[in-house]
């Protein structure tokens, strides 16, 4: 439960534009879970956050409208982070 909350906190930091703090948090999750699913998700989010950080938060794509996509539901871990 604590690791789930920590992960979600990092995701919130990204949404708030606190990229460096989120990168540090994702790195901590990776270090603590190097061979687990949580570590893999943190690696993906670390990479995405570092891209956002390097582009000034624009991401180079469309603006996020706050709606969930089918990918959000499809890639949500079963039984976790509900």
Report pTM.
Answer: 0.66
The Cα 26–Cα 53 span in angstroms is 14
Token pair for 18:
């606190």
pLDDT at position 51: 93
**Number of C-alpha atoms within 13 angstroms, CB side, residue 45?**
28
Provide the mean pLDDT of the chain.
80
The Cα 78–Cα 30 span in angstroms is 20
- Checking if the pLDDT of 70 tops 60, the result is no
Token pair for 55:
């582009």
Output b/e per residue, 52-74; b: 16+ Cβ within 10 A: bbeeeeeeeeeeeeeeeeeeeee
- Checking if the pLDDT of 2 tops 80, the result is no
pLDDT at position 39: 92
pLDDT at position 46: 95
Q: What angle do CA 47, 79, 10 make, to 5 degrees?
A: 30
With cut-offs at 50, 70 and 90, classify the pLDDT of residue 55.
confident
Domain assignments of the chain as residue spans, ordered by start: 2-54
């Amino acid at each position: 439960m604590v690791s789930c909350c920590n992960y979600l906190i990092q995701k919130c930091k990204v949404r708030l534009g606190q990229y460096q703090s989120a990168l540090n948090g994702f790195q901590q999750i990776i270090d603590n879970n190097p061979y687990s699913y949580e570590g893999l998700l943190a690696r993906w989010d670390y990479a995405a956050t570092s891209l956002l950080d390097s582009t000034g938060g624009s991401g180079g794509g469309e603006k996020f409208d706050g709606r969930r996509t089918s990918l959000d539901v499809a890639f949500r871990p079963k039984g976790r982070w509900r």
